[in-house]
Homo-oligomer: A and B are copies of this chain.
Amino acid sequence: MPMGRPRAFDEDEAVRAAVGLFGGRAYDGVSVDDLVNHLGVHRNSLYKTFGSKRGLYLVALRRHLADDVGPLVDALAAAPDVATALRLMADADLGLLLLAAVDRAPADDEVATEVTSALAALDQAVAAALGVPADLASAITAAALGLRLRGDPEEAGAALARRLDPTT
């Protein structure tokens, strides 16, 4: 079977660039023209490779979860206290996950599934590392998301950690 013309773009690079774009503004705020211009992928190849704008979004979201959230879960497993856990989550690049949760999950069940399981993984990591009940762990994850959403003035997270875990 013939082989055809080789690709002129790096699929991994393209998906990373998509993570950056989708993590920076709302789904409907990123046009296919924006993607074509910033990804180095031509329209036709984009649809041939990812099927649709939503298909590319889902691939980008999963890459974000694998590349950014996964390592965070691993790092959390070694967190000795609440302050460390909060700082790890607040410093991590969670832009696309946060935006997906607020912007797309209500309108896209598949996105909602990915977001829910990613947050559950963070909850479990926090609960296991700190030895706290599940409900408190998910509240700590929620607090970290809230801090990130506000721009995280750094002192706020530290103050919360101090209050949550007086031993540090």
Residues of A within 8 A of B (CB): 24-29, 98-99, 101-103, 106-107, 119, 133, 135-136, 138-147, 149-150, 153, 155-160, 162-164
Docked-complex contact A140 and B164, CB < 8 angstroms: no
Which residues of chain B are within 8 angstroms of A28 by Cβ–Cβ distance? 26, 28-29
**Neighbouring B residues of A106 by C-beta, 8 Å:** 24-25
Q: How far is the CB of A1 from chain B (nearest CB, A)?
A: 44
Given contacts A99-B102, A119-B150, A146-B147, contact A136 B163 (CB under 8 A): yes
CB atoms of A153 and B138 under 8 A apart: yes
A139 and B147 contact, Cβ closer than 8 Å, known pairs A25-B106, A102-B99, A103-B102: yes
The copy count of this chain in the complex is: 2
- Chain B positions within 8 Å of A155 at CB level: 135
The 9 closest A-B pairs by CB, nearest first: A146-B146, A28-B28, A142-B146, A139-B160, A143-B143, A139-B156, A136-B159, A135-B159, A145-B146
Q: A103, B26: Cβ atoms under 8 Å? A: yes
Q: In whole angstroms, how far apart are the Cα atoms of A98 and B106 in the complex?
A: 14
A31 to chain B, nearest CB (A): 10
- A29 — which chain B residues lie within 8 A by C-beta? 28, 107
Could you tell me if A149 and B102 are in contact, using CB atoms closer than 8 angstroms? yes
- The answer, among B102, B136, B147, B157, for a CB contact under 8 Å with A102, is B102
Bound-state CA distance A103–B25 (Å) is: 7
Determine which of B26, B27, B99, B142 lies in contact with A147 in the assembled complex, contact meaning CB atoms within 8 Å. B142
Contacts of A160 in B (CB 8 A): 136, 139-140, 142-143
**12 additional contacts, CB 8 Å, given A138-B156, A146-B147?**
A98-B102, A101-B150, A102-B103, A135-B155, A136-B156, A136-B162, A138-B153, A139-B156, A142-B149, A142-B156, A142-B160, A149-B149
